[in-house]
């Protein structure tokens, strides 16, 4: 089931402007390896769910997959062959705002090769270019 918020303040939102670069959530925090977005984009709830299922099918019962993004933005869409006007359209789907650098998924409890293969399968489900990353230096 695609994810969405349980409660919202307003039913619809303005489109907004997607910032280019991530200044937070841009490093692997919960797992050992991660999948990082290299472009800004709206990632729909269905795409996030497709990625999760692809990884879990591949890993079977090994490891743990953490999803770092949540689709909290309602995207509305007018039906086909509709005249313009008559107010804002109904919500079509929910999306997560992803900036370049955001970590999308993290995996822990498996070897690096397994994590690479699982994250490559997730990357195929994403609408953007992604890359595999490990934990960064810390002091």
Partner 1 sequence: MAQKNNTLDVATRERTGTRYARRLRESGRMPAVVYGQGGDPTHVSADAIEIVNTLKSGGHVLDVRIDGGKTETCLVKELQFGHLGDNLVHVDLARVNLDQVVTVNVPVTLTGSPKAAQADGAMLAVIRSEIEIRCKVRDIPSEIKADISELEEALTIGELNIPDGVEALLDSEKHICHIAFQAAEEEAEGEATEADGEGAEPEVITEAKPEAEGDEG
Q: At what angle do helices 112-125 and 45-59 cross, to 10 degrees?
A: 150
Q: Provide CB contacts within 8 A for 113, sequence distance 6+.
A: none
The one among 77, 88, 124, 135 contacting partner 1 by CB under 8 A: 135
Q: How many positions of this chain bind partner 1 (CB under 8 A)?
A: 40
Site string for partner 1, 77-116 (x = CB under 8 A): --------------x-------xxx-x----xx-------
Residue pair 121/115 in contact (Cβ under 8 Å)? The answer is no
Regarding 75 and contact with partner 1 (CB under 8 A), the answer is no
Give residues 4-63 in contact with partner 1 (rule: CB under 8 A).
4-11, 21-23, 26-27, 32, 36, 38, 46, 52-53, 56-57, 61-63
How far CA 39 is from CA of 5, 54, 127, in Å, comes to: 24, 21, 10
Question: What φ, ψ does residue 42 adopt, rounded to 5°?
Answer: -85, 125
Nearer to partner 1, 6 or 83 (CB): 6
Can you say how many angstroms the Cα of residue 115 is from the centroid of all Cα atoms in its chain?
17
Residues 126 and 9: their CA atoms lie apart, in Å, by 28
Q: Which residues bind partner 1 (CB under 8 A)?
A: 1-2, 4-11, 21-23, 26-27, 32, 36, 38, 46, 52-53, 56-57, 61-64, 91, 99-101, 103, 108-109, 133, 135-139
């Amino acid at each position: 089931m695609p994810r969405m918020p349980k409660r919202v303040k307003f039913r619809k939102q303005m489109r907004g402007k997607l910032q280019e670069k991530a200044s937070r959530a841009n490093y692997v925090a919960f797992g050992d390896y991660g999948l990082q977005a290299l472009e800004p984009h709206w990632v729909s709830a269905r795409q996030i769910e497709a990625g999760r299922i692809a990884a879990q099918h591949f890993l079977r019962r090994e490891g743990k997959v953490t999803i770092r993004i949540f689709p909290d933005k309602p995207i509305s869409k007018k039906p086909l062959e509709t005249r313009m006007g008559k107010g804002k359209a109904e919500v079509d789907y929910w999306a997560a705002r992803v900036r370049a650098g955001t970590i999308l998924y993290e995996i822990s409890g498996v070897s690096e090769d397994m994590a690479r293969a699982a994250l490559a399968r997730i990357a195929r489900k994403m609408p953007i270019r992604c890359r595999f990353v490990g934990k960064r230096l810390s002091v």
